[in-house]
Copies of this chain bind each other. A is one copy, B any other.
Amino acid sequence: MRSPPSHRNGETPPSPHPRIPASPHFQSTVTVQKLKRFNSLILVFRFATFIFSLSSSVFMATNSRDSDSPRWYDFDAFRYVFAAGAIVALYSLFEMVASVWEITRGITLLPEIVQLWFDFGHDQVFAYLLISAESAGTVLAKTLKGTNTCTAWGGFCVQSDISLALGFAGFLFLGLSSLMTGFRVVCFMINGSRFHL
């Protein structure tokens, strides 16, 4: 992990104005520290999104173990929940790699402006995708509760509900990530650098 050079009082070379050359380094270190804290918080949200959306997909995909039980992929809305969860999990995995890369190396994985817009745009779109899928799945789960399906195969309906709850939790963390990456984009637009937090 590299960090910009810092100067202690005793180590600065003698000069008629010793405070002037030290000042930009000091500001830069503080800014880099703030950016690292900010990126670490995004990484935590990414990790939570990944865990919840992956669990949601896995719970949905493993919901038809008995040969005579209803199959989750026969229901459009459950396929939508599975697909949205899987897409968001894959995206979160990529974003975690990008985030760790940025924290350890101090540069973004893609060119800076591309990375910022990529993050924010995808966060917004995938947050809408996930809430849309979970809402659709919830209505289907509720409709099924009034039919014979849930009377005969109660476990199928319970596991669908768990998958949906996990998906909603994933949406919560993705929404928080979206707020933070939106903030980064505007900082860049205004100041020309993501370092001005």
Contacts and interface: CB of A to CB of B under 8 A. Distances in A.
Interface of A: 76-77, 124, 127-128, 131-140, 142-143, 175, 179, 182-183, 186-187, 190-191, 196
Contacts of A196: 190
Contact of A135 (B124, B133, B142, B186): B133
24 contacts: A76-B142, A77-B139, A124-B175, A127-B128, A128-B128, A128-B175, A131-B131, A131-B132, A131-B135, A132-B132, A132-B134, A133-B135, A135-B135, A135-B139, A136-B138, A137-B139, A139-B139, A139-B140, A140-B143, A186-B187, A186-B190, A187-B190, A190-B191, A190-B196
Contacts of A124: 175, 179
Contacts of A137: 139
Contacts of A131: 128, 131-132, 135
A127 B178 CA distance: 14
Going nearest first, the 6 A-B pairs with the smallest beta carbon separation are A186-B186, A132-B135, A135-B135, A139-B139, A136-B139, A135-B136
Nearest to A182: B182
Contacts of A138: 136
A101 B142 CA distance: 44
Contacts of A134: 132
A142 B136 CA distance: 11
A159 to B, nearest CB: 19
Given A124-B175, A186-B190, 5 more contacts: A139-B140, A143-B143, A182-B182, A183-B186, A190-B191
A140 B135 CA distance: 11
Contacts of A132: 131-132, 134-135
A186 to B, nearest CB: 4
A38 to B, nearest CB: 14
A173 to B, nearest CB: 14
